[in-house]
Amino acid sequence: MRADARKNRDHLLAVAGTALTEQGIDVSMRDIARRADVGLATLLRHFPTREALLEALLRTNFDELTARAGELAETSSPPEDALVSWVRDCVAWTTEYRGVTVLMAAAIADIDSALHASCVTLRAAGARLLTRAQAAGTARSDLDGDDLFALVAMLAWLGDQPALAPRADHLFDVIANAILTGTGSADTETR
């Protein structure tokens, strides 16, 4: 990449970051280009879709969350605490980018989305923590990585809705509790 292009790209990412956190995930691409004093077509040449822009912007966050899952899996703390703590981190992170949850929910099933790989990695990281807690007998045995991803998405979505957000913390506890309720009540309920 040419030096001027690289500089342009970095500048676009910086501007996009503030625009997205301020206005939410739905800011118009035109707006971002305007803020960066750049033609719309230039922005789109660097990042052909909103997903591509987000992928570049959120890569760090995704990597951090994945790394954190790895650390938590190594520690000696109880597996169920590690799991809940990680889920909490995931949900908390999304509040920074209002509306990102819907894009992630779409990306996990869309091979062509620029966010697809990151979402799949995230799901796998969660699945490992979940399996570990299940092996210890402290998480419901009838959940898998897809379920956990969906539960995280639901909680993140909740925080995105201004009218429902006040209940987000409380319902986080309720659902975390449900995940950890153990296999006993799960068995009686699924059959």
Quick check: 151 and 88 in contact, CB under 8 A?
no
Query: Judged by CB, which is closer to its own copies: 23, or 181?
Result: 181
Q: Interface residues for DNA in 10-69 (CB under 7 A)? A: 28-31, 38-42, 44-46, 48-50
Residue burial 4-40, b: 16+ Cβ < 10 Å; e: rest: eeeebbeebeebbbebbeeeebebebebbbebbebee
In the shown chain, the binding pattern of residues 71 to 110 toward its own copies, with x for contact by CB under 8 A and - for none, equals -------------------------------x--xx-xxx
Indicate whether 166 belongs to the interface with its own copies (CB under 8 A).
yes
**Residue labelled with tokens 């908390």:** 92
Of residues 115, 86, 152, 121, the one with CA closest to residue 25: 115
**Residue labelled with tokens 């309920």:** 189
Q: Quick one: which H or E segment has residue 52?
A: helix 50-74
Neighbours of 94 (CB within 10 A): 21
Q: Interface residues for its own copies in 42-71 (CB under 8 A)? A: none
Indicate whether 147 belongs to the interface with its own copies (CB under 8 A).
yes
**Min separation Cβ 163 and DNA, Å:** 20
Estimate to the nearest angstrom the gap between the alpha carbon of 162 and the chain centroid. 19
Query: Judged by CB, which is closer to its own copies: 73, or 102?
Result: 102
Residues binding DNA (CB under 7 A): 1-2, 4-5, 8, 28-31, 38-42, 44-46, 48-50
Binding region for its own copies (CB under 8 A): 102, 105-106, 108-110, 140, 142-143, 146-147, 149-151, 153-155, 157-158, 161-164, 166-167, 170-171, 173-175, 177-179, 181, 185-186, 189-190
